[in-house]
Amino acid sequence: MAETLYIIGAGGHGKVCADTAKATGHYNHIAFLDSQRDIGDAIGEWEVVGRPESFADFADTHSVFFVAIGDNRARRQWLQRLTGEQVGIATLVHPTSIIAEHVHIGAGTLVVAGSIINGFTQIGQGCIINTATSIDHDCSIGDYVHIAPGCHLAGTVTVGEEAFVGIGSAVIPNISIGSHSIIGAGSAVTSNIDGNVVAVGSPARPIRPHHRE
Ligand SMILES: CC(C)(COP(=O)(O)OP(=O)(O)OC[C@H]1O[C@@H](n2cnc3c(N)ncnc32)[C@H](O)[C@@H]1OP(=O)(O)O)[C@@H](O)C(=O)NCCC(=O)NCCS
């Protein structure tokens, strides 16, 4: 335990990230960089010490960074910027989550309390595996994906990069959800979903395109 963790983004998601980081016991100091709050603001026991834009001023051999931005595209942009500057990137996995053998979790990903990830699943970088979500065996979750709280993905599900799966959704085995797509809250995904669409309901059906490029 020798590192300082700087969390970029002091909103609600940032609070979850700070709490997760504290629970890991890996950091002796945790602080926020945020553009909305005043420097010196306290958020619980954690202080806003600077602006995200000035991250380089805080980078040293004992510091690592975590991007706590819920929007997939914005999170991607910040992570790529940090990586380009070769600063250390944290990966935060809450100790109450259960991670099976042969699971790979990419840099900059958050796994929130109570989540379960089963064997031979690959989780990309910069993902959010939110509260009490389960992802079963042999899944492939692309970079910058957000799986919202209380989702259940069966085995061998593929989720493309920057996709979002809304709170409380269920995905049956062998399904593919395309990149940049949004699955509405409480959906049951029982057939493949193309990329760049919003799909909702049970069974989930596309209701409109969703283009981010
Ligand atoms: C899917 C979603 C993104 C759509 O948002 P939107 O584009 O603003 O869509 P609208 O609210 O205009 O709804 C469009 C239609 O889809 C329906 N719809 C929206 N979300 C739905 C859902 N989750 N399940 C079923 N139908 C849904 C609406 O009832 C509406 O139907 P209508 O045209 O017959 O009236 C949003 O409703 C949603 O489910 N977001 C998930 C949020 C979440 O999980 N957050 C977790 C954060 S950790």
pLDDT along the chain (213 residues), means of 10: 89 98 97 98 98 97 97 98 96 98 98 98 98 98 98 99 99 98 98 98 98 72
> Does any domain span residue 209?
no
Amino acid 212: pLDDT: 72
Q: State whether 139 and 55 are in the same domain.
A: no
Instruction: Clarify whether 210 is annotated catalytic.
Output: no
Q: State whether 134 and 82 are in the same domain.
A: no
Q: Which atom of ligand 1 is nearest to the CA of 169?
A: 44
Q: State whether 167 and 189 are in the same domain.
A: yes
For the chain, the domain total comes to 2
**Measured in whole angstroms, how far is the alpha carbon of residue 94 from the centre of its chain?**
12
Catalytic residue among 137, 146, 180, 211: 137
Can you give the residue range of the structural domain that contains 166? Answer: 93-202
> Does any domain span residue 211?
no
| Alpha-helix residue ranges (DSSP H) falling in the chain | 12-24, 72-84
> Does any domain span residue 62?
yes
Q: State whether 124 and 47 are in the same domain.
A: no
Closest residue by Cα to atom 22, ligand 1, is 184
Amino acid 1: pLDDT: 52
Q: State whether 70 and 23 are in the same domain.
A: yes
Q: Assess whether the C-beta atom of 185 lies below 6 angstroms from ligand 1.
A: yes
Amino acid 213: pLDDT: 61
Q: What is the DSSP letter of 136?
A: -
**CA 194/CA 65 separation, integer angstroms:** 33
- Going by C-alpha positions, the residue among 94, 98, 178 that lies closest to residue 137 is 98
Q: State whether 104 and 137 are in the same domain.
A: yes
**CA 16/CA 21 separation, integer angstroms:** 9
> Does any domain span residue 207?
no
Amino acid 132: pLDDT: 98
Q: State whether 129 and 191 are in the same domain.
A: yes
Domain boundary among 42, 66, 90: 90
**CA 137/CA 75 separation, integer angstroms:** 26
Q: State whether 123 and 64 are in the same domain.
A: no
> Does any domain span residue 142?
yes
Q: What is the pTM of this model?
A: 0.98
> Does any domain span residue 159?
yes
Domain boundary among 33, 61, 90: 90
Domain boundary among 62, 90, 118: 90
Q: State whether 133 and 36 are in the same domain.
A: no
> Does any domain span residue 63?
yes
Q: Which amino acid is at 38?
A: D
Q: What 3-state class would DSSP assign to 162?
A: coil
CATH code for the domain in which residue 117 is found = 2.160.10.10
> Does any domain span residue 8?
yes
Q: State whether 72 and 100 are in the same domain.
A: no
Q: State whether 125 and 27 are in the same domain.
A: no
Q: State whether 57 and 128 are in the same domain.
A: no
Q: Assess whether the C-beta atom of 106 lies below 6 angstroms from ligand 1.
A: no
